[in-house]
Amino acid sequence: MTDFFKGLSQVKFEGPQSRSPLAYRHYNKDEMIAGKRMEDHIRPAIAYWHTFAQEGGDPFGGRTFDRPWFDKGLEGAKLKAEVAFEFFDLIDVPFFAFHDVDVAPEGATLDESNKNLRVIGDIIGQKMQQSGKKLLWGTANLFSNRRYMAGAATNPDPEVFAYAAGQVKAVLELTHELGGENYVLWGGREGYETLLNTKIGQEQDQMARFLTLVIEHAEKIGFTGQILIEPKPQEPSKHQYDYDVATVYGFLQKYGLEKKVKCNIEVGHAFLAGHSFEHELAVASSLGMLGSVDANRNDLQSGWDTDHFPNNAGEMALAFYYILKQGGLGKGGFNFDAKVRRQSLDAADLLHGHVLGLDTLARGLKGAVALIEDGEFDKLLDDRYAGWDNGLGQDILGGKLSLADIAAKVQADGINPQPRSGRQEYLENLVNRFV
Ligand code: XUL
Ligand code: CO
């Protein structure tokens, strides 16, 4: 045991009336809800980067957090892993997620980095066995090092592509060895700053080649997890190719990869793309592309990706509605891609942030289940489209009528449709009853 979390004990469910400063009020992992344990619905994960590697810096000032593993190389990484698994136990969450550089220090060469990753990967593997904790996903950081400033797969220099490929190979293999259920690709620098120095078509071809290589290697090593792309429209690049779910789908379709890849959808990224979170979920689900979620929220005034912990139960209820409607996230889950604020210095703050997130998700889940079980919401939606279930609607959809046939039918049958209310406020009140 380290003394990082000295004086803190495992967070327990105590119910909404609890006065304890640190307790779950809504997240009750073993509670059965719609036939499944709450934990199995949510499949929550701790993001290694925000919780253990984040330093509390911002563009105006550096590190505010004082962590005993900072600046200590491989020894520091070992201590960090100790503390991470202590945290997973204290917060009582089954999964975690990492980038290579979060867990092990980068070396001067790919070989050196991979050796460090191997050392820490073995330690993490042992700790997973002892604790029963699981890996939701692994990913390679292809955006922080200056070599990636002009992209990884989309770099004008093929040697950068090659280096990135070597990095992904190592992390994909480690993810597979650790039983990871997903592998994520977030293309932070796969985009451009200015068109003046960029060939968009060329870069897209490179990106597709990279993804194809990753898929092929995953198949070759027997990785059966999901390969996920995480859409985001900008930041750090001015224009990112994986703008949103629809854009990602178009890209995948162009290169024939749409059956091989799904999306990891992040709340804050949806907002940056000018969408709501539920929009991205609903679009992904309708395309069979909803694989997993990065849970957080943005400071909506900042216009930036602030990775706050989720605190909007209403938003999460609508999110869970689409997730439940597709029968859950399967191998995916809810990764807390969220960080405590730079003034939140204490070890306990890490727990408070995640409790906020989990209680918010629990309330959202319960709200969505209640909404679905009540049935009126779904019925109203079905009623709105009922015309398409038979008669004219089916004839149109089934391709039985040409444009001329339809026009003739309007005349012959005297069709003159009367507008009906969309009942938005009625529906908002209905949803409010359950959240
Ligand atoms: C960045 C972001 C990443 C990905 C993993 O905005 O969301 O942390 O989740 O690379
Ligand atoms: Co993310």
What is the Cα–Cα distance from 290 to 270, expressed in whole angstroms?
A: 13
Please indicate if the annotation marks 294 as binding a ligand: yes
Question: From ligand 2's centre to the CA of 335, what distance in Å?
Answer: 8
Which residues, at least 6 apart from 340, have a Cβ–Cβ distance to it below 8 Å? 50, 309, 349, 350, 352, 353
Q: Which of 170, 187, 157, 173 is nearest to 219 (CA)?
A: 173
Mean pLDDT of 2-22: 97
Q: Is 240 in the pocket of ligand 1 (CB under 6 A)?
A: no
pLDDT at 71: 98
pLDDT of residue 89: 98
CB-count exposure of residue 381 (10 Å: 0-12, 13-18, 19+): exposed
Residue 111 marked in a binding site:
no
Convert the pLDDT of each residue in 378-416 to its tens digit.
999 999 999 999 999 999 999 999 999 999 999 999 999
- As a whole-number percent, the residues of the chain with pLDDT over 70 amount to 100
CB 96 within 8 A of CB 89: no
Quote the ligand 1 centre to 186 CA distance (angstroms): 6
Which tens digits make up the pLDDT trace of 265-275? 999 999 999 99
How far apart are alpha carbons 379 and 386 in whole angstroms? 10
The verdict on pTM exceeding 0.95 is yes
What is the largest distance, in Å, between two alpha-carbon atoms of the chain? 82
Return the structure tokens found at 210: 């990279």
Q: Does 122 qualify as catalytic in the annotation?
A: no
Show the beta-strand stretches assigned E in 245-397.
261-266, 290-295, 334-336
Look at the chain and count its residues: 435
Q: Report the distance separating Cα 14 and Cα 48, nearest Å.
A: 27
pLDDT value of residue 223? 98
Q: Beta strand pairing status for 182-185 and 134-139?
A: parallel
Domain ranges of the chain: 27-374, 388-432
- CATH number given to 27-374: 3.20.20.150
Q: How far is Cα 154 from Cα 417, in angstroms, rounded to an integer?
A: 51
